[in-house]
Structure 1
Amino acid sequence: RCSICTTERGSVYDFCWQCMNTWKGHAPRSNRCDNEGCINQELEILKDCPLMNLPETEVKQCPSIRACPTCGKLIEHNQTGCKNIICIRCHVEFCFACLEVTTECLKNKPDSWFDVCAKGIAPRQISIPTWNRHG
């Protein structure tokens, strides 16, 4: 929603951050609107990234790029060490395989830093979490 355009027009003006056109379709949605050609490039990356094995773990056939479950930043695992990584934007540590915050992942299967998670490998993400910094 653009507050300047809303004021100038005298009515609510919603637009899409992906294609920068007037919003079309149901709202709110964070991934894209219904305008022809509107795509969310980050969702395309998540959809098309190759699967990988984390060589020092038991994790196999995991998407090679993940959106941080806390802030949505796209991250690649460097393929060294355990399955957990720390997001470079929000600094939250999470499991690259099951997408749980590390403490939650380890609650279900303690000391499983290098093993498959109790919940298994999360599927490809089809939405990107929105970071609520004040929540």
Structure 2
Amino acid sequence: MQNESTLFVVLRLPGGSGSKQLDEDVETTDAPDMISWEDDPNTPRAKMSCGHAITPETLTTYCESLLSAGKYVFKCPYISPATEYCGKEWSYLEVRRLAVLTLDEQKQFEIKISDNYLRKGMGIQECPKCHSLCERIDKKDKRVVCPLCSAAGTMEYHFCWYCLHEWVGTSVDKCDNEDCNGEDKRLKILRESKKKTIVGVANCPAIRACLKCGMLIEHDRACKHMACICGQKFCFICLKPAIEGNYQCGTYKSPCEVADVQTTIPGDD
């Protein structure tokens, strides 16, 4: 365990008539639950896509803890006896099915996933110590002061905006944490975005950053024209902004040239 590691608490509760039932075609396993170590042969455990076992109840509680921590991606927490971390990403569809989410749980999950995704995209981070939400006064700042932690202690609490650990060193520009490369995490999301076809134009990144505020926007379906919540309108394919409400590249379904993957975050300069 390292400094400021995240711990997930999962309650192990007795089963009963209200327990969740996996679909008959779900692959199950006799391996113990990776978190609660439940090994009762009468308690079905789903085999996740990464191969590790978990009950629907434990999966639900674990994923709820991730959402409460501001996450929007679900990753396997399994750690082998050799202390090797799995970390394989599970899709929401997989989680929804194998956690046997109720309609109410699905609604809550989807709201939290959207909220957390938007918060990250808009440049709001959680303080790694108290988990309050912090926004930079200057978008170029890498070293950020948490007002709540600072008010509660005798010294200001500084953390790195990018690696989300307590700031190490005296520099204001370079965090000396070993795992910090000083890069905005949104750039990695943009680089690794899947490609898709939009209005017949192939190989378009599925995620773009708003040209004005830098919020990450994922293309879902339909046309190429986008309108960010900040008011900026632009073409998702060529990234040309709308001028006085008029798009420069034709109608919503007109093909245009695919712009390169963005390598800077608009609004941070």
SS of corresponding position for 1:42: helix
Instruction: Please identify, of 63-72 and 92-101, the stretch whose mean Cα deviation from structure 2 is larger.
Output: 92-101
| Matches of 1:64 and 1:23, distance apart in 2 | 38
The question of whether the paired residues in 2 share the 8 Å contact of 1:72 and 1:128 is answered with yes
Alignment of 1:11-90 (within 5 A): 16-19=160-163, 20=165, 21-22=167-168, 36-38=178-180, 39-54=183-198, 57-80=199-222, 82-88=223-229, 90=230
Match of 1:106 in 2: 247
TM-score, scaled relative to structure 1: 0.64
* Percent of matched pairs sharing the same residue: 38
Q: RMSD between aligned alpha carbons?
A: 3.4
Match of 2:235 in 1: 95
SS of corresponding position for 1:102: coil
SS of corresponding position for 2:247: helix
Match of 1:127 in 2: 264
Q: Number of aligned residue pairs: give it.
A: 114
| Matches of 1:92 and 1:52, distance apart in 2 | 23
The question of whether the paired residues in 2 share the 8 Å contact of 1:59 and 1:83 is answered with no
Q: Which runs of 5+ in 2 are unaligned?
A: 1-142, 151-157
TM-score, scaled relative to structure 2: 0.35
Q: Which runs of 5+ in 1 are unaligned?
A: 6-13
What letter matches 1:97 in structure 2?
A: I
Q: 1:46 to 1:103 in 2, by over 3 A?
A: same
Match of 1:8 in 2: none
What letter matches 2:227 in structure 1?
A: I
Q: 1:23 to 1:60 in 2, by over 3 A?
A: farther
CA displacement, residues 62-121 of structure 1 (integer Å, 9 cap, x when unaligned): 0001110110000011211x2111113x121111011121238833x4x3321222xx11
Larger Rg: 2
The question of whether the paired residues in 1 share the 8 Å contact of 2:168 and 2:176 is answered with no
Q: 1:42 to 1:100 in 2, by over 3 A?
A: same
| Matches of 1:123 and 1:67, distance apart in 2 | 12
Shift of 1:33: 6.0
Greater strand fraction, Structure 1 or Structure 2: 2
Q: Which has the higher contact order (CA 8 A, sep 6+)?
A: 1
The question of whether the paired residues in 2 share the 8 Å contact of 1:95 and 1:102 is answered with yes
The question of whether the paired residues in 2 share the 8 Å contact of 1:84 and 1:102 is answered with no
| Matches of 1:24 and 1:97, distance apart in 2 | 42
SS of corresponding position for 1:43: helix
